[in-house]
Amino acid sequence: MQKKDVVDVEVGGKRILLRVDFNVPLDMSTGAIKDDSRIRASLPTIKYLLDHRAKVILCSHLGRPGGRVDEGLRMKPVAQHLSQLINLTVDVAPDCVGSEVEERTRELREGSILLLENLRFHPEEEANKAWFARDLARLADIYVNDAFGTAHRAHASTVGVAKHLPAVAGFLMEKELVVMSELLGAPRRPFACVIGGAKVSDKMGLIQNMLRRVDILLIGGGMAATLLKAQGYEVGRSLVEDDRLDLARELLTDAREQKVAMLLPVDVLVAREIKAEAESEIVPIANIHPSSQIVDVGPETTELFSRQLVKCQMVMWNGPMGIYEIPRFSEGTRSLVRLLSTLTAITVVGGGSSADIVREMGLGEKMTHVSTGGGATLEFLEGATLPGVEALLDKM
């Protein structure tokens, strides 16, 4: 997918409306940023624009204010943190549209930067209202989208504004598209996907699309219970989507027909309750008691998956292997992440909770690519067209 990027346009002296994803987690009691990885991810684009004498106007959403002003979700903490990262004062505009904001953007000097107030203080942002997109566009000469994490949303700041300004990708957006396109179009082989999470239905499109592309598909997490039940196993009180059992059987059949090695857990950690203090034990999948529920994969499964992954040249992972939020039920996921961090293969972490886990373990730098998208990554890998990407100019 070849889209124009910031290098393809002349930015010197121009006002650049740069859509970033600064939707960072905040400590609501202090306003401090708990994880700045999304801010750091856009630094290469920001620094490029500043170094090339652009007048940079950043815009982002923060949290879910519901189309109204929420004092706890103002952009000031983000601006202060960014100022420290780039050693340059970053002011916050009083709003993201309006005459006062337009005046502030006209006064910008080359190599300076202004952060607009939270886009989602206006309901027109998520509704992609034409007037709101036009007002955003009036602030700048060129639009740059570096917010891959919001590219699956047809909002005013991701799609609407691109109808009024030359629209190109930032370096982060470009990197995401290159990596994800390689996964779908020209993966290095053997190519494995490890897919976890709670429900088969949440990842059905991903599994179906990747079955046509991978050599090995490893399934863990809660969704494994539905697939195990489809094979006739007792899974006790595990979360099972009974209305998806026929579809699960079709997936298993498709894997066999396409000669994809689709592996499910061979042993699991089970508990009577989803509580940190609940008694738990590791059992083979043939010995799950009707009163138990699966909470993690077992060590034999971890070893089985490891033997497959060390043979691969490319690995994509999306979704935890168990109930990661409870430390006692997180070892399967942690073991997988530790293994991925040691592989010589290209390793791609598919965003969302998977990216959060890798960062929490301090192993992000050991992966080839940790996606900044959640829903955007999932939809792209399902084969969907992302509106925020489609809106950008194509390379000639």
pLDDT of residue 1: 58
Judged by DSSP in three states, 131 sits in: helix
pLDDT of residue 199: 87
Q: Check if the beta carbon of residue 343 is closer than 8 Å to that of residue 315.
A: yes
Instruction: State pLDDT tens for residues 63-100.
Output: 999 999 999 999 999 999 999 999 999 999 999 999 99
Locate the domains of the chain by residue range.
6-175, 187-382
Of 134, 138, 199, 359, which is the active-site residue?
A: 199
Which among 112, 171, 169, 108 is positioned nearest to 144, based on CA atoms? 169
pLDDT of residue 303: 98
Judge whether 359 counts as a catalytic residue. Answer: no
Ramachandran category for residue 87: left, alpha or beta (phi over 0 → left; psi -120 to 50 → alpha): left
Judge whether 352 counts as a catalytic residue. Answer: yes
- b/e string for 167-177 if b means 16 or more Cβ within 10 A? bbbbbbbbbbb
Longest Cα separation, the chain:
71
User: Residue 254: is it exposed, middle or buried by C-beta count within 10 angstroms (0-12/13-18/19+)?
Assistant: middle
pLDDT of residue 198: 86
Digitized pLDDT (tens) for each residue of the chain, 396 residues in all: 589 999 999 999 999 999 999 999 998 878 789 999 999 999 999 999 999 999 999 999 999 999 999 999 999 999 999 999 999 999 999 999 999 999 999 999 999 999 999 999 999 999 999 999 999 999 999 999 999 999 999 999 999 999 999 999 999 999 999 999 999 999 999 999 999 998 888 898 999 999 999 999 999 999 999 999 999 999 999 999 999 999 999 999 999 999 999 999 999 999 999 999 999 999 999 999 999 999 999 999 999 999 999 999 999 999 999 999 999 999 999 999 999 999 999 999 997 899 999 999 999 999 999 999 989 999 999 999 999 999 999 997
Judged by DSSP in three states, 12 sits in: coil
Tokens 């935890």 identify what position? 320
Q: Which CATH architecture has domain 187-382?
A: 3-Layer(aba) Sandwich (3.40)
DSSP state of 242: G
Of 38, 55, 175, 334, which is the active-site residue?
A: 38
Phi–psi pair at 160, nearest 5 degrees: -60, -45
**Equal CATH topology for 6-175 and 187-382:** yes
Fold of 6-175: Rossmann fold (3.40.50)
Judge whether 375 counts as a catalytic residue. Answer: yes
Judge whether 232 counts as a catalytic residue. Answer: no
Instruction: State pLDDT tens for residues 154-200.
Output: 999 999 999 999 999 999 999 999 999 999 999 999 999 999 998 88
